[in-house]
Chains A and B, each alone.
Chain A
Amino acid sequence: MTSPAPKLPVSLVANPRLSSWVRFTDAGRVAISPGKVEIGQGIVTALAQIAADELDVDIVRIEMIRASTAMSPNEGVTSGSLSIQQSGRALRHACAEVRQRFLAAASERLGVDAALLDVDDGTISGPGNVRTSYWELAGEVSLDHDAIAGATAKSAAKRALAGHSVQRVDIPDKVFARPRFIHDCALPGLLHGRVLRPEVSGAKLMALDQEAARSVPGLVAIVRDGGFAGVVADGEAAAEAALKVLRKGAIWSAGEALPDEDDLAGFLRSQPVETTVIDTRTAATQNAVQTLRRQYTRPYIAHGSIAPSCAMARWDGDHVHVWTHSQGVYLLRADLAIVLKLPAENIVVEHMEGAGCYGHNAADDVALDAVLLAKATSGRRVRVQWSRHDEMSHAPFGAAMAIEIEADLDADNEIVGWRHTIWSNGHAARPGRAAQPALLAASEIANPYPRMISTNPPAANGGGGDRNSVPLYDFPAWTITSHRLLTMPVRTSALRTLGGQGNVFAIESLLDEIAALRGEDPIAFRLRHLRDERARDVISAAAQRAQWKPQKQAGIGYGVGFARYKNTGAYCAAIAEIEGADDIRVKRLTLAVDVGEAINPDGVINQIEGGAIQATSWVLKERVRFDRTRITSTSWTDYPILRFSEVPAVDVEIIQRPEIEPVGAGEAAHGPVTAAIANAVYDCLGVRVRDLPITRDRIIAAAELPS
């Protein structure tokens, strides 16, 4: 019997050169260069832990290098809760091999068998008090080799840092006001740009009188390229002032009609679509006596980063350098190359931290804006920052969804058939993945590219609108169908969980309804339909922690929700305690999560807490508003999010499984928390709200419906 050939982690297959990941630098430092980027999720710290563990160096020696197309491994995009899985595995493997190579060199130099050597904070020592170090040997050990599949990482028990809550490396800068965000990069001579965008959705710039704007003090340039126009000035206030004047000289075409915000399901279900059957399971016998048919909807949701998107660019001849908080520097570069008609080698895209983005917001769009404006000021760096208004109206949104489930029930109200159908725009229109660019200004310039209609990632990557639509429960038969819209009046792209939040909300709501119909406890009902032990464990752990189910009290409700993110990632169960009077108030969320090996447990808890609170905000408050011509929720007043006084207590338990490969935690909580709140609302008020957000109006409307 032969064991399967060892395989390299995917990111190492794509970027096998060891020196692109790890370098020993002067002064006893180690440069670690991942292709994934920090977006406030703490990934840089977790990756530093993995590297320090595998190399046996103190974590303070690790210097984490920001991703840049000039030198970093290409790891695509930092999304989908895949950074620990992809970058973490690659770094663990690469560092293990680097360690082995150095031990071999040390063995030769010291004349000691490599097996007898030990590494302690980078110092390699052996019997007879012989010693050397990574840095002493760095000159003779080349890392310009491709990784080989054989290197073995340490066993879980031998890791000193993984599994421990090491403090985040970026936090001190942020509390001591040391510039770390791209927004804070202050340079002498930095120029500032602003871009003119229409108020009316889909309107195009037809004519522009630039005369008045030319006399605004501080103005450096007015740029116009077809329907793209903007200003460059010597300061932010001057750029704002110039833009304000320029706007008065603009003549716009009529726009494109937006759907009726009060009938999203009607809109979504009436558009031309591309239909995919995601999964089917057939059963031999059909003994259904009734079918429950329920429709669930979720609105468009804004990313709502606290920082408006920002980028900087500088041209030198036919080369351009771009600084960005994009989630994918190589992908952005690919789109820039298409738009600029330049070879990719002429473009360097370098990451700098931005605020949390929660998916594909305007980070990439503003980078092209900066590149186009900086053309007018060759040799000088131009910084462009969007307004709050533009961030809330021109950036992509998370796609609205209509989901219909038909559940066939037998005489005992057991599920014997299940049909889950989704209508939604695609959930991804990220740059760098198609022959046409996805960047906003690419559809505005003189020879415009068509606006990219969002698509869905393939099911093998977790799907898009269909994400989490295949039940983990062992129903005997099902058909899962996804309809992707071929029109896109409201621009959509990736928002945390893609379709996962909507699908889990729908599945877990209907399960709750069927359990109630049977008079069965909803947790017992779920456990009875789950064979996966890890799934059962998170549900049981959450139930135990929340002392499920507390005694019924007037005005209080409890609900449960569960999912395994993408059906392949983190397991998460949530229990919500809500108070329902005039408005719904979420008092407490109790969650249990299993990410396999939790590299940084406090980081995992932070991600789950944050996801739970953000999901609560989505469920209770959030909905992109529009009339038939324009997006109207363009400020925090019109697009309210959860505030400190409204935030629930959040209690998280991690089920540690050090022997199981780690997965990400950033998107695990949203679906389960959404469902848990909706189910708690039913428990409290006896009303099933199937349209998000769950507001007072929606509760009243749902209470008036039959069933």
Chain B
Amino acid sequence: MPSLQFRLNGAAIAVDADPDQMLLDVLRGRLGITGPHFGCGAGECGACYVMVDGHAMASCDMPMWSVAGKDVVTLEGLGTVEQPHPLQRAFISEQAMQCGYCVSGILISAAALLKRNKSPTEAEVKAALDRNLCRCGSHNRMVRAVLRAASEMAAS
């Protein structure tokens, strides 16, 4: 199997993988990265989102060949307990979830938004999260949390 090289959460990595295998399978099955979740396997729910070169994308239907040379960030790479991303802090402050299964993908979509738009409006946040499904109905809390993170980032 060919060795595929890419960056994962800031570190260079080489994985021997079938080029047609999906990134999510490799992350979860081979690399122990369980932040991205399987939800549908068809790129329709957003639970498996990762950032690829700064864009939030489904990893469940992203073949490994397309990841070569790219910069991939999962929830694990967003921040840590010691050095949380402002979004992680804001999601705790706003208690922005119920079950939280979709949250990993939503944090990735939000982080990608804040990279390209430092002070989004509420409508822009909703548009950026529109491909992510949440079944518990925690949407409004999540939107508030993203706006809170944006204003914290602007203030610091």
Contact = CB atoms under 8 A, between A and B. Distances in A.
A167 B95 CA distance: 7
Interface in B120-156: 123, 125-127, 129-130, 132-143
Interface in B66-82: 74-76, 79-81
A530 to B, nearest CB: 28
A306 B133 contact: yes
Contact of B75 (A165, A177, A385, A617): A177
B126 A644 contact: yes
B100 A236 contact: no
A645 B91 contact: no
Given A181-B37, A636-B133, A235 B29 contact: yes
Interface residues of B, number: 55
A9 to B, nearest CB: 26
Contacts of B22: 237
- The listed residue with most B CB atoms (<10 A of its CB), out of A41, A165, A177, is A177
Contacts of B95: 165, 167-168, 171, 602, 606
A356 interface: yes
A172 B90 CA distance: 11
B37 A183 contact: yes
Given A175-B103, A236-B25, A308-B38, A643 B92 contact: no
Interface residues of A, number: 57
A645 B136 contact: no
A307 interface: yes
Contacts of A609: 137-138, 140-141
A614 B38 contact: no
A305 interface: yes
A692 interface: no
B101 A307 contact: yes
Contacts of A180: 100
Contact of B41 (A171, A387, A614, A637): A387
Contact of A175 (B32, B88, B99): B88
B47 A175 contact: no
Nearest to B142: A644
Given A40-B136, A614-B135, A636-B133, A306 B25 contact: no
B146 to A, nearest CB: 10
Nearest to B102: A306
A200 B92 CA distance: 44
Contacts of B143: 644
Interface in A179-195: 179-181, 183-184, 186
9 contacts: A172-B92, A174-B104, A177-B104, A186-B32, A306-B45, A354-B99, A355-B102, A387-B41, A388-B39
Given A637-B44, A644-B134, 10 more contacts: A174-B104, A175-B75, A183-B38, A305-B101, A306-B133, A354-B101, A388-B41, A610-B138, A644-B127, A645-B123
8 tightest CB-CB pairs across the interface, nearest first? A40-B99, A613-B137, A610-B137, A355-B101, A177-B35, A174-B100, A356-B99, A184-B34
